[in-house]
A and B are shown apart, each in its own frame.
Chain A
Amino acid sequence: MEFEFSAEQQQLKDQVRRFLADRCDRDAVRAVLEGEQPFDRPLWKAMGELGYLGASIPEAYGGLGAGYLEACVIAEELGRAVAPVPFGSSIALAAEFLLMAGTEAQKQKYLPRVASGEAIGTLALVEGTGRVTPASIAASVVRAGEHHSLTGCKTAVADGDIADFAVVAARDASQVSASSPRISLFLVDLQQAGVKRSPLATIDPTRSHAQLDFDKAMAEPLGEPGAGMAIIEQVFDRAAILTAFEQLGGADRALEMARDYALERFAFGRPIGSLQAIKHMLADMYVSATLARSNCYYGAWALSTDAPELSTAAATARVSATQAYQHCSRNNIQVHGGMGFTWQFDCHLYYRRSNLLAVSLGPLSGWEDRLIKRLSEQRAA
């Protein structure tokens, strides 16, 4: 059995960690946190040059063609550093939408520039609070001769203000009945005249978000008409696993930070880490993070082998990593006491990011539901 990353993948991980320690330090993250810039462009550019963005993109489309295991280790290190870059949008989502549903021409047009970092892609799906269903999507596309024209409004679009293009979910306006509209996907250039972008304040300023207002914007169909929700479900499985590694990196770092603090902070004549309440809290965090790591590995295996149980593995990794990151990040603050509640200490970076990633692919309840659906199907089989 070799249920482990290879020595080369481990080397890549170490390399990425060193790179980020150098290029994505505290100051770099805080520059984005405090609104000096929407993301760290020089860091993103360097990542593109080093091939860190193209790992999971095939060589035929300008990527490294290394594989998903490499993408997973890169994602974990980005999560550990709370890197303020659009990896989750451009690589975990946009690139995957193109690979899954794009025509050869679309792949050739977009993927090489996504792999190099020159172009940033994102997904524009959500229009309000609550679960996404076909009925909750009002944005619509009308056909005008050869062209498709998109009108509508998307909110909480990750990297919406910095992306070059978006995969947009919209209903086919030729549908008369609104009860069960056909949802299709479209590629939309965000720099065109019919697109207005407004940055939005969120709980995690280290990842920029925007509202996108489309007014007869030109849109290019992506994938089968009407297959929007099905494509989203499949891509979300893949994105969930890559995101789970980001969450895992963050959870581990939060645990480490808490442990380190517990060793140096003295109270009642001894390090607070010698008090059982703290020890047991940290032990429980270790358990969460360990379970999450093992479940992420399951996801990595399923993704890299395109296993039939990919959907089960994706939901497992997502639920586990989400729980672990939220648990570790909030208790990291707890261990730090009052200091953990200061802007100056880094605890809140992880707390914010953990809660962003908890809902970035839809709420946990949806993933729990999917997991149990898959497990009951597997049981019946």
Chain B
Amino acid sequence: MNFSDTPQEAAFRAQAREWIAANAPHELREQLATAGLGQPVLRTGDVLQAGKAWQKRKQEGGWACLHWPTEFGGRGATPIERVIWQQEEGVFSKLSSPFGIGQGMCGPTLMAHAQERHKLRYLPPLASGEEVWCQLFSEPVAGSDLAGLRTRAVRDGDEWVINGQKIWTSGAHYSNFGILLTRTDSTVAKHDGLTMFFIDMKSPGVEIRPIKQVNGQSGFNEVFFTDLRVPDHQRLGDVGQGWKVSLTTLMNERLSIGAGMSTGFAELLDLCCTFETGEGLAIEDPAVRSKLATWAVRTSGLRYTGYRAISALSRGETPGPENSIGKLVAGQTLQEIAMFALDLQGQAGILMDPARVEASARFQAMLLRSPATRIEGGTDEILRNIIAERVLGLPADMRADRGMPFDKIPTRTSR
């Protein structure tokens, strides 16, 4: 039982480390290291431009989208090599967050379902960060129940005409393209009447409206389609195969095992070790210690669960289902820790000014951002369902709309 690299892994790591040392934007290291949850905000410039510059440099050096085939701008790296790269890239990987959806989800979907000429046209600039992609799936009426979506695509000769609305579209405001899931047949069961396309976000008929979040930021958007015209050659997969295509997209989301999600514990430990409560250091209070211990073992548990997954990758195997617990545990813990930290700070813990509270008000920011962690990328409730069904083998929920034609499915309590 050990944490050592194999000789091949060690060689790859050395190569990666050397290249990163020579090429990374070291001047940004400190800002990235102290950034809170979500996308970092740089004092020294625009984080998107910095991200694009780093992505381009990686691509020129052969270090972008490692697991993609080389003909599309990747390196054909193995899963364990991807993990090693992520470990070596460290804080600089935060610069890649605008490209996560595009490279992690849209790219693989194009690779599986787009025409060859489109792969050659779109994948290299996606890998280099020149073009950014978003994912247009969720709607106001369809979040956890994604297959209940309503955005309509109607065939008109060589084109499709699209009307409807998407919501929670991260990065739509700076995206060039997007993959779009639409309803093409509302007379069949909901999963059977969907079709996937990719679209140019600058097309006429696409309107993007930022959504203001609880924490005041606007990372995501509503996207409205009014008679948007999309050529049929931009269809991904067959008509009516949209659900199957979307599973490719969503499956890739789950395969990411990187540095793992933060729980906020390290920051809280720092706070408790330095914070004077008025009756001594917080860390000396047994009540504080007891709570810290629970969060410590959750954090440690996630870290070592990640190592077990990495060990499987190193053996060339698929990681086991234990890795599915990450976001569920991290989301809960972040929120609990944020509330606890504010409680430690007492009444003045309500202040948002970084100059007036400890840790530059990161716990206040964590409080306001953490509700999203329990909802985005699969709600806590959906994740529990997935663990229960796919890992423990329990039966699927009974569905009130199974097999029902989409246009007969109730969407509100009848009056």
Contacts and interface: CB of A to CB of B under 8 A. Distances in A.
A287 B296 contact: no
A292 B301 contact: yes
A69 interface: yes
B4 interface: yes
Contacts of B12: none
B290 A365 contact: yes
A295 B392 contact: no
- Which 8 interchain pairs have the tightest Cβ spacing? A291-B301, A368-B293, A279-B388, A294-B304, A274-B395, A283-B384, A283-B387, A273-B394
Interface residues of B, number: 49
B400 interface: no
12 contacts: A263-B394, A274-B396, A286-B391, A290-B325, A293-B322, A294-B301, A295-B297, A300-B1, A369-B289, A375-B292, A376-B283, A379-B273
A152 to B, nearest CB: 30
Interface string A279-320: 110111011001111110110110011000000000110011
Contacts of B394: 259, 262-263, 271, 273-274, 278-279, 282
Given A290-B325, A294-B322, A380-B273, 15 more contacts: A2-B314, A4-B312, A5-B1, A262-B394, A263-B395, A279-B385, A279-B394, A282-B388, A286-B388, A290-B305, A297-B308, A298-B300, A305-B1, A368-B289, A368-B294
Interface string A308-352: 000000011001100100000000000000000000000000000
Interface of A: 1-6, 69, 259, 262-263, 270-271, 273-274, 276, 278-280, 282-284, 286-287, 290-295, 297-298, 300-301, 304-305, 315-316, 319-320, 323, 365, 367-369, 371-372, 375-376, 379-380
A284 to B, nearest CB: 7
B290 A379 contact: no
Interface string B273-304: 10000000001001001101110111011111
B156 interface: no
Contacts of A69: 1
A290 B301 contact: yes
Contacts of A375: 269, 292, 296
Contacts of B293: 315, 319, 367-369, 371-372
A320 B385 CA distance: 23
A259 B5 CA distance: 37
B283 A270 contact: no
Contacts of A376: 269, 273, 283
B2 interface: yes
B329 A3 contact: no
A290 B322 contact: yes
Contacts of B296: 316, 319, 371-372, 375
Given A259-B392, A279-B394, A2 B4 contact: yes
B97 interface: no
Interface of B: 1-5, 269-270, 273, 283, 286, 289-290, 292-294, 296-298, 300-305, 307-308, 310-312, 314, 322, 325, 328-329, 381, 383-385, 387-389, 391-398
A1 B2 contact: yes
B395 A271 contact: yes
Given A262-B394, A287-B325, A295-B297, A280 B314 contact: no
Contacts, number: 162
Contacts of B392: 259, 279, 282-283, 286
A315 B296 CA distance: 10
Which among A6, A274, A291, A304 has the highest number of chain B CB atoms within 10 Å?
A291
Nearest to A298: B304
A372 B325 contact: no
Which among B1, B298, B310, B314 has the highest number of chain A CB atoms within 10 Å?
B1
Contact of B297 (A279, A287, A291): A291
Contact of B311 (A1, A278, A287, A367): A1
A271 B286 CA distance: 44
B308 A294 contact: yes
A375 to B, nearest CB: 6
Nearest to A304: B1
B4 A1 contact: yes
B297 A3 contact: no
Contacts of B269: 375-376, 379
A367 B3 CA distance: 26
A284 B329 CA distance: 10
B384 to A, nearest CB: 4
Nearest to A6: B1
Contact of A291 (B5, B310, B314, B329): B329
A316 B312 CA distance: 23
B304 to A, nearest CB: 4
Contact of A301 (B1, B292, B384, B387): B1
Nearest to A303: B1
Contacts of A287: 325, 328-329, 387
A259 B389 CA distance: 11
B254 to A, nearest CB: 16
